[in-house]
Every structure is written in structure tokens, then in C-alpha cells.
Structure 1
Amino acid sequence: MLKPNVGHINYLNCLPLTYTFTKNPSDKFNLFKDVPANLNQAITQDKLDISPVSSIIYARNFDKLMILPDISIMADGPVQSIILVSKKPIHEITTDKILLTSQSATSHCLLKIIMNKRYHATPDYSIAKVSPQNPFSDENATASLFIGDDALFLKYHQNKNLYYYDIGQQWKEFTNLCMVYAVWVVRKDFAQENPQKTSIIQQYIKNGFANGFTNLHQAIKEIATDKPFSFTQLDEYLHIIQWKLQEEQLKALSLFYQYAFELNLIDALPQLNIFNPNTKN
């Protein structure tokens, strides 16, 4: 019988799970490591059975996906890896041009929600190639959004003439809630046909994060050696990111989807369909 195909984000924010996959690989499934955008596409095209996806991707495909319980990528306040760099204070931005990286769907929506709901601004958003060394590839742009390693790099290498805003902190100040950036999902048809396999993989991922976090110092030393950050910086970042999905996180996710729907960033308000192996999904 064919093994399930499972996606994995090989980024810093999943380092504990990467450590477990490296040290204790499972023979229960085929593992596919890729960037979030490719994983998002692969599971919506039925090339993967289970995968992490950007939170907004679930909202756009909730009719054929289910959320795995107890695991997500979230932070309660600063996230460090989603940073807006601006030539002016954020509250002065109105219809200015903001450059967006093509790498992330959820961060785009989160920024648009913050700018509209908190600052009542309607910026002109444009996808562009930006880098920490050249944050404004379009000289007419007022601000640029960075994610991932680039954002983390900017946290520690700031230009005193620019303004830097952690978008996770902006969400926390606006809503007083945490923010869920990614969830693990299973294709609904796969879950219905393979509830026990789905449950085993969910438990492996949940335990994998716990095991990797228990061995975090070793994981940083062994796996993150190619990153341009100190051990202390990585350790701080990986104590800010959390991997749980409980009532508080679901409440935050629902509000994020509510705002996204109000701004026409998604076509419908999604139901939060949580996989449960003991009930008919």
C-alpha cells in the first residue's frame, strides 16, 4: 500500500520538527521538504496528503481540507520574522506604495488587515523583489514587507533612518490575541479513508515538535549552522514561536478570517473543520 505524502517546511520556524525528522525519521510516510508556497500549492493539487499550509490557504480551501488538532505555527506578540520597513511612521502611511515579497500569502493578508482596520489606510500594494540590502527596489515605495530569515536579519541590522514594525506585535496590540501563521491540514478525502493513518502522523508531528524543543540547543548547533544568526538570536526566536493549536489560537484564527472576509481577501468565511479520528469527518 502506498505511503501517505507529507509536507514539511524546512525553515527556522520548524527547526524542532526538522531535528526530529533528521534524528528519528518515520517509515510511515514519504516526507517532502519545500518552501511554504510550493507546499500550499501541492496539497491543493492533491500531490500531498498532509502538510503545513499558510493560514489563509486553509480559508481558501476549507471545503476540501481539515485542520489537524494541537499543532500550528503561532506567536503571542512579536514574531520577529514578519517585519515592515518604512520610510515614515506607520500611522502616517495612507495611500503610499508598499512592496510585498512573493513568498507569503498569510503575511500579505495580515498586513492589509492591520493597515486597514488599525490605521484606516488604503496603501497601493505591489509584489516586488526586495532584499535587506535593498529594501526599496522601487524608489517610489514608502515601505516593504519582509518575512523569514530576511525579516530576522533586519531585526538585528537596522538603519537608524528607517522605521521597523513587527507585524505580529501590531496584531497583538490591535486584537489582544495571538496570531496563527500556519496550520497543519489533511485532505478531507484522505482523512475519511485513512483516519488512523492521519491520527498517527498528527501525533508524530506533535511529538516531533516537543522532542525537538526539548533538544533545542542541540538542534540549533547541528541544523542551523548555515544561518547568519548567533546561537542566542536563534534561541530567542525559537522561544517566541510556538506550535500549539488550542481554544485561544482557534479564536484568533477565526478573527483573522473574519477580517480577511470583510476585506474581500477570501471569498467565504471558513468553517474550522478540526480532524477527529473518533468521529465521522
Structure 2
Amino acid sequence: MNKPRLGHINFLNVLPLTYSLKNCGFGDGIDLKNGVPSVMNNDLINNRLDASEVSSIVYAKHDDSLLILPDMCVRADGSVRSIILVSRKPIYEINEDKIILTAQSATSHTFVRIILQKAYDANPKYYTRHISPESPVPEDATAALLIGNDALYVYHHQDREKFYYYDMGMEWKKFTGRCMVYAVWAVHRDFAKNNPEALQHLHQQLYKGLRYGYANKKDAIATVLDTMPFTFQQLDEYLEVIKWNLTEEYLDNLMVFYKYAYEMGLIPKMPKLRLAPVNI
């Protein structure tokens, strides 16, 4: 059996899986590579990986060569806590302002563009560069978008005398009334076709690993407390906000996101959702 090359995004929103892969044997038979979303997205697209968790928008742009691993995603219904817009002015006053985007993600870029244009009729100028959570909005900008662990830090360290804070998951819920699927696990079609046994093994390890890690959430959190600027309670609450199951309802919600992205010219065509042939 070929050993699948798997990209893993070591963000706290998949801490249960990180724990299972690294500490509980669920990484056996897998060639694991860690990185931020932008790196894993690029490595999958350029065939340096066989499968990876990827930003949802990446699948939309490459649905002709990728398949979605069933019943696995990163989603939240409303508040997500780890995609935060920090602004010097209220969101409804933003128009042609300068907004800095973190270089770490792709879905969040599309996400914030849709919300600001469709919900607030704003047309900001976007720039991508490094953002520090300790000083989230550069002096030359009106607002900045942070994601992942940096955003979660900002969520828990708000300076409301200087900035306004917007949880973009909640903004999406207000705008659409729907849950948001931020990431999926995708696999190359060729790999899936030529390595059915390895594909089944990979999906089983990921699917069961997520559930095992969540069932042992306390132990998973304990592995990062010494290296992360969060309390046990903060991480425990966060892992109740994030959900990982991908049902028909959430696939439908994903298509709503793609519809807006297509209408705004952010993706070249409407993708088709195709699932990898595995047994759950």
C-alpha cells in the first residue's frame, strides 16, 4: 500500500486530530506534513501532497482534480472566534478603506470580501501581509483580518477603546442565516483512483482520529497549554464552537458560499461537489 502524503494544518480548530495523529497512533501509515493553510493549499495543488485539509475556496477552484473526503470538515454555526476583523471604525462605515489580510488563508479572504460587499455595500482595497496579533491593525490601514490561533488570541484580548471587533462567522450567519464550512479534506482524484486501499486507510484514520481526539478533548488540550497563550477553559469552549461533521445540509451551505464567490468573480466557475469513494 502506498503511504499517502497528508498535509495537516496545525491550528487549534483541528486540535483533536492533531492529538490523535501525533499521540495516539492515528498517523500510522501516513506521511504527515504540517503547515499553514496557504502552504498546504499550494502543496496539494502542485502534487507535493496526495491529500490535505484545505481552505474551502481551494476545492472550488480545483474541483476538476480533487475529491472531498466524506463527513469531514471544519465548520461553525455563527460565531467562530478564529476569523476576526479588527477595525478602527464600525464595519458599516467601511467603504473604500485599506484592509490588511493575513497571508495564512484563502477562504477567509473570499469570505470577508463577500460579507463586506454584499452585506455592507463596501469596496475596500485589500492588501496581504504579515499581521501581529499584539498590534493587529497597521498604522496605514483601517482594518485587518486575522485567522486561526492569532485570531483566537485577539478574540480573548480585545482593546475596545481602540478597535471594533467582528467575528466573521457571526457576520456570515447574520447575512445568510447559514452555517459556514471553512475547510474540507481533499484528495487528488488520481491518487484516489489508483490507491483505493490507501485512500480507505487515510479516511479511516482521519475520520476516527477526529472523533477520538474530541472524545479525549481534555488530554488533547493538555498537550498545548504550555506552548499556547490560552487557558484550558478558553480552548475547551473553542472546541465546542468548532464542528467537524459534513452532512448534506452543510454541503448545501458550502454551495451558497460558492454562489456568492462566483457572482463576485472570485472563482472562475461554480464547482461540483464530488466525494471520494470510501466506506465510513
Q: Tell me the equivalent position of 2:144.
A: 144
1:241-252 correspondence runs (5 A): 241-252=242-253
State how far apart, in whole Å, the 1-side matches of 2:95 and 2:19 are. Answer: 44
- Per the TM alignment, residue 141 of structure 1 is displaced from its structure 2 partner at its CA by 1.5
Q: Tell me the equivalent position of 1:157.
A: 157
Q: 1:28 to 1:133 in 2, by over 3 A?
A: closer
Q: Tell me the equivalent position of 1:267.
A: 268
**Residues 101 and 127 in structure 1, CA contact (< 8 A), matched pair in contact too:** yes
**Residues 72 and 245 in structure 2, CA contact (< 8 A), matched pair in contact too:** yes
1:232 and 2:233 matched: yes
Q: Tell me the equivalent position of 2:20.
A: 20
Amino acid at match of 1:196: E
State how far apart, in whole Å, the 1-side matches of 2:196 and 2:174 are. Answer: 39
Q: Deviations over 1:158-214 (max 9, x none)?
A: 112211000000001111111111100110011111223212211211110100001
- Per the TM alignment, residue 228 of structure 1 is displaced from its structure 2 partner at its CA by 0.1
**Residues 67 and 274 in structure 1, CA contact (< 8 A), matched pair in contact too:** yes
Q: Deviations over 1:118-158 (max 9, x none)?
A: 11111111113221222222x33211111112111111111
**Residues 101 and 127 in structure 2, CA contact (< 8 A), matched pair in contact too:** yes
**Residues 19 and 223 in structure 1, CA contact (< 8 A), matched pair in contact too:** no
State how far apart, in whole Å, the 2-side matches of 1:203 and 1:176 are. Answer: 32
- SS in structure 2 opposite 1:108? helix
Amino acid at match of 1:233: Q
State how far apart, in whole Å, the 1-side matches of 2:160 and 2:68 are. Answer: 42
TM-score when normalising by structure 1: 0.95
Q: Deviations over 1:205-252 (max 9, x none)?
A: 111010000100111012343000000001011110111111121011
- Per the TM alignment, residue 44 of structure 1 is displaced from its structure 2 partner at its CA by 0.7
Q: Flag structure 1 segments of 5+ consecutive residues without an equivalent.
A: none
Identity rate, percent:
49
Q: Tell me the equivalent position of 2:202.
A: 201
- SS in structure 1 opposite 2:143? strand
- Count of matched residue positions in the alignment of Structure 1 and Structure 2: 277
State how far apart, in whole Å, the 2-side matches of 1:26 and 1:180 are. Answer: 24
**Residues 37 and 106 in structure 2, CA contact (< 8 A), matched pair in contact too:** no
Q: Flag structure 2 segments of 5+ consecutive residues without an equivalent.
A: none
- Per the TM alignment, residue 41 of structure 1 is displaced from its structure 2 partner at its CA by 1.0
The list of structure 1 runs, each at least 4 consecutive aligned residues, that deviate by more than 3 angstroms after superposition, is: none
- Per the TM alignment, residue 97 of structure 1 is displaced from its structure 2 partner at its CA by 1.1
1:6-17 correspondence runs (5 A): 6-17=6-17
- Per the TM alignment, residue 58 of structure 1 is displaced from its structure 2 partner at its CA by 0.6
Amino acid at match of 2:177: N
- SS in structure 2 opposite 1:249? helix
Q: Tell me the equivalent position of 1:37.
A: 38
Q: 1:128 to 1:30 in 2, by over 3 A?
A: closer
Q: Tell me the equivalent position of 1:135.
A: 136
TM-score when normalising by structure 2: 0.95
State how far apart, in whole Å, the 1-side matches of 2:225 and 2:207 are. Answer: 21
State how far apart, in whole Å, the 1-side matches of 2:192 and 2:207 are. Answer: 17
Q: Tell me the equivalent position of 2:107.
A: 106
- SS in structure 2 opposite 1:264? coil
1:150-229 correspondence runs (5 A): 150-161=150-161, 162-229=163-230
